[in-house]
């Protein structure tokens, strides 16, 4: 069974005398910074000069500096920028400010596990990974509760890394719900696997295939959308609230019988073997290598796949039907903003990519990744 830590296991005094640097002020960054501050911690936010997020962070009363300034001043540095820019931000702006005894923290293990960031041996390297979006994390904190999190220790230079990380986890509110012990390898590999086989890749492929099957059989696309896409949220909400048993308690007996007898015919042994292959590609570093090379090449496949999926019939039909549902919050399709990074630019093959305002950028060029020793992923 997993080891779970709670508030009684964490001592806030371990970090209240330290300076904590939060790199980025996006969804996770703002929640971490504000929760830490409200728990009496000394917080600085690191952004690139000129970011609109700079004013937003200052408006909350937080101290703001460049990433370089924050990295030099902070005892604990939490990197909350996107995976694909973390290495560059680290090399350009964080690594020069590291010193023996400092702690480098992450909310996801990709760059440590796949050797994109290799910290010096004399710093602690840990993870606190809240299992909720930043806005929900902040909302729960303000309501006096918390969201669960994962904790991992990759380097324990001070021999006190886990206790300091636990104190951080308590300060951001996660120890109220529980902090589960894991490793960088386990968090990274299971996170990628869940995204690819269920949460993102699996569910969208299942929905699209079912939708196409009904439409090709002559059913109206609108009816197919409701049956294969719209109602999915209703069932997921039930599972989220009380597990599969509660979902099955809430549906008709006919639906429940179809669940037991037809579900395994769709998700059969072939699918299980494909899932195992996906997991093997993650564990071997093959997926990470593919994604890094895709970024180096300018993301041609990524952008083509995005356009292809945005143009699928289910998206067009869904947009029309959601127009009948004014209670749904409308979101523009396409790019989502990415968190702030140092200097306001991404360096690519021979040119710099400017960031947009507000601490975000539109990645229309080549984001630089390197490929050091991917085959020796940490276990």
Task: Give the residue from 15, 13, 77 showing the smallest Cα distance to 45.
Answer: 77
The residue from 108, 113, 154, 343 that is catalytic is 108
Distance CA 257, CA 116 (A): 48
What is the sign of the dihedral through the CA atoms of 134, 236, 152 and 3?
positive
d(CA 108, CA 184): 8
> Which burial class, exposed, middle or buried, applies to 117 when counting CB atoms under 10 A from its CB (0-12, 13-18, 19+)?
buried
Query: Are the beta carbons of 178 and 106 closer than 8 angstroms?
Result: no
List the one residue out of 188, 200, 183, 151 whose CA is nearest residue 284.
188
User: 323 in helix, strand or coil?
Assistant: coil
What token pair was written down for 324?
């009948």
Take residue 56 and report the two structure tokens written for it. Answer: 């937003």
Distance CA 101, CA 122 (A): 6
The contacts of residue 375 (CB under 8 Å, 6+ apart) are 284, 285
The token duo for 30 is: 């703002």
Residue 130: phi and psi, rounded to 5, are -60, 140
Cα 138 to chain center, whole Å? 16
In which residue are the tokens 């360096």 written?
A: 347
Residue 108 designated active-site: yes
Q: How many CA atoms lie within 13 A of 375 on its CB side?
A: 0
CA dihedral for 219, 221, 225, 226, sign (positive or negative): negative
Beta bridge partners of 155: 125
Give the burial string for 166-191 (b: 16+ CB within 10 Å, else e). bbbbbbbbbbbbbbbebbbbebbbeb
- Residues with active-site annotation: 108
């Amino acid at each position: 069974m997993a080891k779970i830590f709670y508030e009684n296991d964490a001592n806030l005094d371990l970090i209240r005398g330290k300076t904590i640097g939060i790199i980025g002020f996006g969804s996770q960054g703002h929640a971490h910074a504000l929760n830490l501050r409200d728990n009496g911690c000394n917080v600085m936010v690191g952004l690139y000069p000129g970011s609109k997020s700079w004013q937003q962070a200052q408006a909350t009363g937080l101290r703001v500096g460049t990433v370089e300034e924050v990295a030099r001043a902070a005892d604990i540095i939490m990197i909350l920028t996107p995976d694909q820019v973390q290495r560059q931000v680290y090399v350009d702006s964080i690594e020069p400010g590291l010193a023996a005894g400092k702690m480098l923290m992450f909310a996801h293990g990709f760059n440590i596990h796949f050797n994109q960031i290799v910290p010096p041996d004399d710093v602690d390297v840990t993870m606190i990974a809240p299992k909720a979006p930043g806005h929900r994390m902040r909302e729960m904190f303000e309501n006096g509760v918390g969201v669960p999190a994962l904790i991992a220790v990759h380097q324990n230079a001070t021999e006190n890394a886990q206790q300091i990380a636990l104190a951080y986890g308590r300060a951001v509110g996660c120890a109220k719900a529980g902090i589960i012990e894991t490793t960088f390898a386990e968090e990274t590999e299971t996170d990628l696997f869940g995204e690819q086989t269920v949460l993102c890749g699996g569910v969208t492929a299942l929905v699209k295939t079912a939708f196409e099957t009904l439409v090709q059989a002559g059913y109206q696309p609108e009816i197919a959308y409701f049956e294969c896409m719209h109602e999915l949220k209703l069932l997921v909400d039930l599972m989220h609230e009380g597990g599969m048993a509660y979902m099955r308690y809430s549906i008709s007996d006919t639906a429940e019988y179809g669940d037991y007898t037809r579900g395994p015919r769709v998700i059969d042994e072939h699918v299980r073997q494909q899932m195992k292959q996906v997991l093997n590609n993650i564990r071997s570093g093959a997926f990470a290598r593919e994604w890094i090379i895709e970024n180096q090449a300018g993301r041609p496949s990524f952008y083509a796949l995005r356009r292809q999926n945005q143009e699928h019939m289910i998206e067009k039909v869904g947009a029309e039907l959601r127009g009948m549902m004014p209670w749904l919050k409308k979101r523009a399709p396409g790019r989502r903003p990415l968190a702030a990074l140092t200097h306001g630019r991404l360096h690519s093959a021979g040119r710099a990519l400017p960031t947009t305002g507000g601490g975000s950028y539109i990645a229309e060029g080549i984001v630089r990744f390197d490929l050091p020793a991917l085959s020796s992923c940490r276990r």
